[in-house]
């Protein structure tokens, strides 16, 4: 029964957690659905009614699966089902009329044309005969097939080989993997003892979260947990998750138990290794206040000195939302985090799981970093969804504070929490140097070009910079060597507001030079942070590096327009932090 309940919960939460929206034509989808349903309505033939009674529910499931996640192979699910459905229909129904064929054609053409709208590059594909070749290999050349498959498997998991130090720590003791990557088990021949829901991103509902939480707090859970850092658009090695979600928000109950019963013993740029502890690490959550807010409104978060601040969030749908979710799919829900330095980062969240707590403070963006860097303190937050018509106006927040049992730091900068991830933050989060450019005036270290200054639009003030097609923006150049003494590390934080013309494509670029030329270059695609449907969007990036023997280090920041349309940028903010290594 537990298996059946788990399967039902996975199906129940799939749409809310993994829905993807793409351009749709309600006319085309309506044409297809109406044509599909008109056949049994207009022709009350017993065989037609029996056929629809048997296959209508599978058709609905195929529709839901296909249009919940509108991308690539998922979109083709319902189209392929229609082919199967109507092929059986033409065989089963004794008398086929011209009207039947017309309605079948309209049902097909509506779905196919809408797929072409959602995925312009989609094609029905060609018939593949690889199945015959696979059968031949399996039956008559089995040894070669096994050898090839093993070699390919070894190649795929080669990057998951663990350092000898980690393997010695684990030995033959039990181990689990968090949040998603399971390849470490095969790559290192580990004693894998999985939790009930083996990957964090598929913990779609509170019930599934509860199963993992109960397991992690029990004596059955693994002695070690390998937590792999993941990339997202806000950090190169952080807590990113599928569909721009934050790992710390996926399963709040399970995460609490993980941090409560495990402590870190090793960290590198790829993973952090947690070991089970004899005593609990966390105190029970304490109420820190209640608040009601609305959609698209910034709300200040409670000021706390240390510990973990979470927000139990209740944002219920209305009746229209319930009907839309049942017949089509859920809305997408987002939380915007505004940091104390003014940067805004956005993550998608699952409304049902958010009832057990969204992670608020501190925001840990680059947990793989070992050098001290500025604390990610949240100043305010805002909730958004793709269409407010389908949700109730009010959002109820219950703030909760989780303190650490062994927190003797008496710190006001969340150091005890960062140490849970073997990360250290400087007590001083004031940047060593702070540069801005709002294009209202000329500023030091900027090689601005007056001909690029535009007054046709702006994010603030009266001016911005226009980046014409295939051009680069003004450049910021600063000699950073003075900030790097023998025991210092440097963090560079850049944010800016931008607007893209239709089909525009561009990047924020951070580049580092020394006496021998460029030794670091990285870009952040603007389209990942906003598109032409937004008036203005913010991009932010942060990099850190330790003391280096390089001479005459120079920091360069600029924007690149690599398409045929215009880009506007404004309010560029650059902060340089210099910290003593710990």
Residue 376 sits at φ, ψ, to 5 deg, of -90, 80
Q: Where in the chain is the domain with CATH 2.60.120.260?
A: 433-580
Q: What pLDDT digit, counting tens, does each position of 82-124 carry?
A: 999 999 999 988 888 888 899 999 999 999 888 888 877 666 6
Question: Which pLDDT score is estimated for 259?
Answer: 95
Residue 419 sits at φ, ψ, to 5 deg, of -65, -20
| Closest CA relative to residue 494, chosen from 331, 341, 356 | 341
Question: Which pLDDT score is estimated for 237?
Answer: 66
Per DSSP, 239 falls in state B
Going 99 to 101 to 104 to 108, the CA torsion angle's sign is negative
Tokens of 258: 């993980």
CATH number, domain 433-580, options 3.40.50.300, 3.90.1150.10, 4.10.640.10, 2.60.120.260:
2.60.120.260
Question: Which pLDDT score is estimated for 276?
Answer: 96
Angle formed by the axes of helices 46-68 and 72-92, to 10°?
A: 170
Collect the ranges in the chain with pLDDT lower than 50: none
Question: Which pLDDT score is estimated for 232?
Answer: 79
Distance CA 256, CA 402 (A): 9
Question: Which pLDDT score is estimated for 564?
Answer: 83
Question: Which pLDDT score is estimated for 254?
Answer: 96
CB 545 within 8 A of CB 269: no
Q: Give the H/E segment covering residue 192.
A: strand 191-192
Question: Which pLDDT score is estimated for 373?
Answer: 55
Question: Which pLDDT score is estimated for 193?
Answer: 95
pTM for this entry? 0.85
Q: Work out whether strand 506-514 and strand 433-437 pair parallel, antiparallel, or are unpaired.
A: unpaired
Q: What pLDDT digit, counting tens, does each position of 534-572 carry?
A: 688 888 888 877 666 567 788 899 999 988 888 999 999
Question: Which pLDDT score is estimated for 308?
Answer: 92
Tokens of 413: 């900068």
Question: Which pLDDT score is estimated for 11?
Answer: 84
């Amino acid at each position: 029964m537990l298996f059946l309940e788990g399967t039902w919960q996975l199906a129940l939460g799939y749409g809310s957690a993994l829905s993807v929206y793409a351009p749709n034509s309600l006319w085309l989808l309506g044409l297809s659905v109406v044509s599909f349903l008109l056949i049994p309505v207009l022709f009350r033939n017993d065989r037609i009614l029996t056929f629809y009674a048997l296959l209508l529910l599978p058709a609905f499931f195929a529709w839901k699966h296909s249009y919940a996640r509108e991308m690539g192979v998922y979109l083709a699910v319902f189209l392929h089902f229609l082919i199967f459905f109507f092929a059986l229909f033409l065989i089963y129904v004794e008398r086929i009329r011209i009207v039947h064929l017309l309605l079948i054609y309209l049902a097909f053409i509506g779905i196919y044309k809408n797929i072409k709208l959602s995925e312009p590059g989609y094609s029905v594909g060609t018939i593949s005969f690889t199945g015959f070749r696979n059968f031949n290999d399996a039956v008559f050349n089995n040894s070669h097939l096994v050898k090839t498959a093993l070699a390919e498997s070894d190649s795929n998991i080669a990057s998951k080989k663990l350092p000898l130090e980690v393997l010695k720590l684990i030995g033959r003791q039990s181990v689990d993997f968090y949040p998603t990557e399971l390849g470490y088990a095969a790559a290192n021949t580990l004693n894998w003892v999985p939790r009930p829901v083996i990957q964090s991103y598929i913990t779609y509902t509170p019930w599934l979260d509860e199963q993992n939480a109960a397991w992690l707090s029990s004596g059955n859970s693994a002695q070690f947990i390998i937590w792999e850092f993941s990339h997202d658009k806000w950090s190169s090695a952080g807590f990113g998750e599928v569909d721009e979600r934050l790992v710390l928000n996926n399963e709040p109950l399970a995460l609490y138990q993980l941090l409560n019963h495990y402590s870190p013993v090793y960290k590198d740029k790829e993973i952090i290794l947690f070991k089970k502890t004899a005593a609990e690490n966390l105190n029970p959550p304490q109420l820190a206040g209640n608040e009601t807010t609305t959609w698209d409104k910034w709300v200040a978060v409670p000021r706390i000195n240390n510990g973990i601040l979470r927000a139990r969030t209740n944002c219920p749908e209305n009746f229209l939302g319930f009907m839309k979710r049942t017949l089509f799919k859920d809305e997408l829900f987002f939380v915007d985090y505004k940091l104390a330095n003014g940067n805004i980062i956005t993550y998608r969240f699952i409304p049902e799981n958010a009832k057990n707590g969204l992670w608020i403070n501190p925001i840990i963006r680059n947990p793989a970093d070992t050098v001290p860097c500025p604390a990610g303190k949240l100043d305010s937050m805002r909730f958004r969804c793709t269409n407010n018509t389908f949700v109730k106006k009010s959002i109820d927040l219950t703030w909760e504070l989780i303190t650490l049992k062994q927190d003797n730091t008496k710190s006001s900068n969340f150091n005890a929490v960062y140490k849970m991830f073997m990360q250290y933050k400087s007590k001083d989060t004031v940047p060593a140097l702070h540069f801005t450019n709002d294009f209202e005036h000329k500023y030091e270290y900027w090689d601005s070009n007056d001909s690029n200054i535009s007054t046709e639009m702006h994010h603030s003030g009266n001016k911005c910079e226009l980046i014409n097609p295939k051009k680069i923006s003004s450049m910021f150049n600063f000699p950073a060597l003075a900030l790097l003494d023998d025991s210092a590390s440097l963090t560079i934080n850049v944010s800016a507001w931008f607007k893209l013309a239709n089909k525009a494509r561009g990047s924020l670029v951070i580049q580092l030079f020394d006496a021998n030329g460029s030794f670091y270059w990285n870009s952040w695609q603007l389209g990942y942070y906003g598109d032409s449907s937004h008036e203005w969007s913010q991009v932010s990036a942060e990099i850190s590096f330790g003391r280096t023997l390089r001479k005459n280090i120079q920091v360069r920041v600029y924007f690149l327009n690599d398409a045929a349309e215009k880009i506007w940028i404004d309010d560029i903010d650059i902060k340089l932090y210099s910290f003593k290594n710990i």
